[in-house]
Amino acid sequence: QYYFSDINLNRDKFMKELMTKDDGWITFEMLLTFKRLQSLSEDKAVIVAALRKSETNLLVISDDETKVRRSPDKPLPEITEEYTKELNERTLHLKGFPLETKLDEIMTFCRQYGIVESVEMRRHMKSKIFKGCIFVVFAAKESAEKLLTADEVKYNGKDLLRE
């Protein structure tokens, strides 16, 4: 879902270009060339099953399960001052994850607070090594507030800084 999210599409020219073709459909074959998806699974059946379980209804899978597209019912929002304010209210910066933590582990951790739209693992520019901090965007501002106001937030026994 990340590739089709509001967050990603507002900055990913390649995905926007792909979505202008074939009525927005993108093959799983193409998506499986993306490193972020490969880090989660390279098995199309696993990806299709995960998308079918999604609570966001952001994506539609083709009947033959070879392609996926953003739901026509969920158009990309216009970037306005109000939208940016609302997005900021749903976005948190978390710091203190072990450097070897994987994306799927972070997603699982964040989901205990609510539906997650996006997780960006911050990496060093040259080495691409994870810095131990993330930006997480929740579907609802209440989920972000729940995490932000929790008495303590620990990952594998270690306190996380939240802002």
Mark whether 88 and 53 lie in a shared domain: no
Instruction: Tell me which of 22, 43, 70 is where a domain ends.
Output: 70
* pLDDT per residue as tens digits for the range 18-47: 999 999 999 999 999 998 888 888 889 999
Beta bridge partners of 136: 92, 119
CATH code, domain with 54 = 1.10.10.10
Rg (CA), the chain: 16
Sheet holding 67-70, edge to edge: 26-27, 67-70, 59-61
Q: Residue 53: its pLDDT value, please? A: 86
Query: In terms of DSSP bridges, do strands 59-61 and 67-70 run parallel, antiparallel, or are they unpaired?
Result: antiparallel
Q: In total, how many domains does the chain have?
A: 2
Same domain, 88 and 137: yes
- Give tens-digit pLDDT for 90-143: 999 999 999 999 999 999 999 999 999 889 999 999 999 999 999 999 999 999
pTM reported for the whole predicted model: 0.74
Is 63 contained in some domain? yes
- Counting every residue written for the chain, the total comes to 163
Do the domain assignments include residue 61? yes
- Computed over every residue of the chain, the mean pLDDT equals 92
* 157 located within any domain: no
